[in-house]
């Protein structure tokens, strides 16, 4: 593991009280039925946060952070019920912690959702679910969650992923792992990097999106580039559980990228009140294995997708709402349906 740590800020007691107070007006809006008013209110309230907090967030938004992440420690998340048994129950979106989460998220952009992912809620529960322990999904536990950028199969993927820890796993085994382009690209030769910039790769639609969309077959998207943009700040598009090279040379470049990413990982063990912001164009993230429990003590995070430009997805957001509703099987860049 790398000795680099994500950029972070630890909240004072006064700043924690500020978040509690500023999140209170969000109680007037249902974050599911009135998502627009909920997010707008969060945005207005975030402008009243202490300058120290807003400055640190603005620096990450403009320049990124070490290891591709930014950590806010000490957000108020109490009171909490027992951890639910299933993410579909949508417990977290109605908690006071979700309102604090929204005020913090507004510092980085606009919250939005995907219809096929947990019914499009802008705040989702991330917790272990029985029967999914060994899958490559956020509800797994026993299997390590492979390094990935989020939702690489869609052009509407988030700019920033927000994760708020409500309850760590009892043994404190689960670690979120990160690595950024500035850490792993220097380990690659010029030919490999040039290959990663070419449209010689494919990726599959995540299983959770297929399940949420009632689709019972695999959908492969491509061709895509794993890297694009300028050399000084390239944009990353890859999920090692889903992305493949379309030829031997492309796959070899992808394998070299994976080796470099694994060699530069940073591990963050989130505690209650820790909010991790991940630059989804600059960093890979994943999760180490942990033990799932019964009785309401399981690890529990809230997740939100954040965009800096909601208009990019306007064609796939019915009624100009906050929920992207894409028919992935009918997408123009589908390579294969199987």
The answer to whether the pTM exceeds 0.85 is: yes
Whether pLDDT at 106 is above 90: yes
Instruction: Please write the tens of the pLDDT for every residue from 90-105.
Output: 999 999 999 999 999 9
Whether pLDDT at 5 is above 80: no
**Angstrom distance (rounded) from CA 131 to CA 8:** 35
Instruction: Please write the tens of the pLDDT for every residue from 22-42.
Output: 999 999 999 999 999 999 999
Q: Who wins on pLDDT, 283 or 206? A: 283
- Burial class of 171 by CB neighbour count within 10 A (0 to 12, 13 to 18, 19+): exposed
Whether pLDDT at 337 is above 80: no
So what's the pLDDT on residue 3?
Answer: 64
Rounded mean pLDDT of 301-313? 97
So what's the pLDDT on residue 232?
Answer: 87
Rounded mean pLDDT of 15-28? 98
So what's the pLDDT on residue 207?
Answer: 83
Rounded mean pLDDT of 271-295? 95
> Residues with Cβ < 8 Å from 14, sequence gap 6 or more?
50
Q: Who wins on pLDDT, 49 or 213? A: 49
Q: Which of 132, 53, 35, 67 is nearest to 267 (CA)?
A: 67
Going along the chain from its start, the domains and CATH numbers come out as 7-326 (3.60.130.10)
Whether pLDDT at 247 is above 90: yes
Rounded mean pLDDT of 46-74? 95
Whether pLDDT at 332 is above 80: no
**Angstrom distance (rounded) from CA 302 to CA 136:** 18
Q: Which pairs count as long-range contacts for 251-255, CB under 8 Å and 24+ apart, including other chains?
A: 252/192, 253/192, 253/195, 253/196, 253/226, 254/196, 254/201, 254/226
Rounded mean pLDDT of 195-204? 98
Whether pLDDT at 329 is above 80: no
Rounded mean pLDDT of 211-216? 83
- The one-character DSSP state at 181 is H
β-bridge pairing 69-73 and 7-10:
parallel
So what's the pLDDT on residue 330?
Answer: 76
So what's the pLDDT on residue 68?
Answer: 95
Whether pLDDT at 135 is above 90: no
Whether pLDDT at 228 is above 70: yes
Q: Which of 306, 113, 132, 152 is nearest to 240 (CA)?
A: 152
Residue 29 has which token pair? 């809006």
Whether pLDDT at 139 is above 70: yes
Mean pLDDT score of the chain, rounded to an integer? Answer: 94
Rounded mean pLDDT of 16-27? 98
Q: What percent of the chain has pLDDT over 70?
A: 99
Among 22-31, 283-292, 328-337, which stretch is predicted with the lowest mean pLDDT? 328-337
So what's the pLDDT on residue 119?
Answer: 87
So what's the pLDDT on residue 220?
Answer: 94
So what's the pLDDT on residue 217?
Answer: 87
Q: Is the distance from CB of 42 to CB of 26 less than 8 angstroms? A: yes
What confidence tier does 334 reach under pLDDT thresholds 50, 70, 90? confident
């Amino acid at each position: 593991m790398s000795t680099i740590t994500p950029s972070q800020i630890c909240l004072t007691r006064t700043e924690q009280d500020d978040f509690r107070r500023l999140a209170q007006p969000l109680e007037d809006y249902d974050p599911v039925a009135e998502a627009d008013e909920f997010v707008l209110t969060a945005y207005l309230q975030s402008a009243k946060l202490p300058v120290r907090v807003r400055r640190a967030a603005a620096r990450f938004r403009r320049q990124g952070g070490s290891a591709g992440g930014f950590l806010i420690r000490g957000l108020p998340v109490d009171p909490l019920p027992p951890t639910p048994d299933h993410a579909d129950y949508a417990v977290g979106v109605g908690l006071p912690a979700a309102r604090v989460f929204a005020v913090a998220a507004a510092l980085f952009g606009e919250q939005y959702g995907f219809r096929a992912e947990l019914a499009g809620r802008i705040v989702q529960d991330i917790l272990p679910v029985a029967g999914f322990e060994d899958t490559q999904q956020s509800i797994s536990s026993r299997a390590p969650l492979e390094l990935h950028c989020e939702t690489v199969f869609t052009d509407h993927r988030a700019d920033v992923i927000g994760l708020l820890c409500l309850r760590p796993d009892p043994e404190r085994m689960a670690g979120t792992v990160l690595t950024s382009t500035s850490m792993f690209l220097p380990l690659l030769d010029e030919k490999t990097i040039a290959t990663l910039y070419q449209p010689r790769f494919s990726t599959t639609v995540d299983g959770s999106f297929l399940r949420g969309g009632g689709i019972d077959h695999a959908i492969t998207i491509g061709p895509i580039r794993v890297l694009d943009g300028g050399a000084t700040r390239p944009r990353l598009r890859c999920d090692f559980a889903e992305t493949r090279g379309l030829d031997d040379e492309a796959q070899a470049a992808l394998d070299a990228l994976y080796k470099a990413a694994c060699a530069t990982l940073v591990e963050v063990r989130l505690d209650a009140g820790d909010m991790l912001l991940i630059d989804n164009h600059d960093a890979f993230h994943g999760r180490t294995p942990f033990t799932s429990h019964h009785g309401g003590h399981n690890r529990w995070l809230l997740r939100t997708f954040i965009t800096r430009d909601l208009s990019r997805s306007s064609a796939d957001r019915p009624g100009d709402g906050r929920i992207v509703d894409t028919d992935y099987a009918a997408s123009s860049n589908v390579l294969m349906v199987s």
